A and B are shown apart, each in its own frame.
Chain A
């Protein structure tokens, strides 16, 4: 029988994969995708906990996470395109004007 613990374990694995991706990748777009993967992993845990408790609150929270993620992607990609216009590059290394 698949218990909620299985789903939480899967969400842990996906969250770690996303976190490593954020640390490793240089392309800002791919970094964003990895953040999305982390948010999705958190959603999976929320849904699993909702199933465990037998209430729908977890599913509602997951729904809110999706909305916030959509808003985050819209603004993040707009920032990305404006950086790309200025620097002709999507690498996170090139947006280092405020470094020193």
Chain B
């Protein structure tokens, strides 16, 4: 009951208002950024921001259980799943700028504005009343209240949900499963392949003799040229290989100058 009393006090009301506006602005800006960001990874991170701010908004609305479920299920599980698939698909996969259907972006923007106007009119005409007086079911006894509803009124949908989850898990396994078409390579065949191939020796590590040893920095060969072999194909194929040439060297000279200046001082 102490929670409901806290909700009612005027200072807490101001705090709630402030929290709502801050979280709403964060959510909308991150949502817009998600639509506009070109890289899928940035979209995923911005979606995490939106989901976390929505979790805080749930807590603000007297739904602490949903707030925690939002953080654990959405930000924890669903978004991690997105990131896993992102790693499979390619982390650097960026959308192309070119439109495949002419005028599609314009049409999407216009229909988005249309939808916004339509929904705003609907919400504006609907009689959305003020929040009901604070009750214990929106505070300390929220979990027990939801559990009571879930296991009495909504027990049948709840059971259906379990069937849905099992179906989804099985479906995902069937879809992601792949039969092995060739025999599994043995250690013998792998070493034979290596000796017969171009590189019997281990490949050069990234960053050898270069300015720094980050994984995207190719190793330098004795003549100073970068070695493509030293960088993982995931990075070099995605165009993410660092260039040891101009930037690193110029940075190096400036570093040396700085060091010289520091020595003079």
Contact = CB atoms under 8 A, between A and B. Distances in A.
Interface of A: 1-10, 12-21, 23-27, 29-30, 32-34, 36-37, 40, 43-44, 47-48, 50-57, 59-60, 62-64, 66-75, 77-82, 84-85, 90-91, 93
10 contacts: A20-B111, A26-B96, A30-B34, A30-B40, A40-B50, A43-B58, A44-B54, A52-B131, A60-B153, A71-B167
Contacts of A57: 149, 153
Contact of B66 (A32, A59, A78, A91): A59
A11 to B, nearest CB: 9
A9 to B, nearest CB: 6
Interface of B: 13, 16-17, 20, 24, 27-28, 31-32, 34-35, 40, 43-44, 47, 50-51, 54, 57-58, 60-63, 65-66, 69-70, 73-74, 77-78, 81-82, 85-86, 88-90, 93, 95-96, 100, 104-105, 107-109, 111-112, 115-116, 119-120, 123, 128-133, 135, 137-138, 142, 145-146, 149-150, 153-154, 157, 161, 164-165, 167-169, 171-173, 175-176, 178
Contacts of B40: 27, 29-30, 90
B112 A23 contact: yes
B62 A51 contact: yes
B50 A14 contact: yes
Contact of B168 (A4, A6, A75, A81): A75
B154 A60 contact: yes
A30 B43 contact: yes
A29 B89 CA distance: 9
Instruction: List 4 tightest A-B contacts by C-beta distance, closest first.
Output: A54-B132, A23-B108, A71-B168, A20-B112
Contact of A24 (B54, B62, B90, B105): B105
Given A4-B131, A19-B112, A33-B47, A44 B57 contact: yes
Given A2-B16, A23-B104, A23-B108, A16 B61 contact: no
Contact of B35 (A13, A17, A47): A17
B150 A90 contact: no
Contacts of A40: 50-51, 54, 74
A19 B35 CA distance: 10
Nearest to A8: B123
Contact of A75 (B100, B111, B157, B175): B175
Nearest to A39: B74
B97 to A, nearest CB: 10
Given A12-B116, A73-B78, 12 more contacts: A2-B17, A16-B112, A23-B107, A23-B108, A43-B70, A47-B61, A56-B146, A60-B149, A67-B165, A77-B82, A78-B172, A81-B89
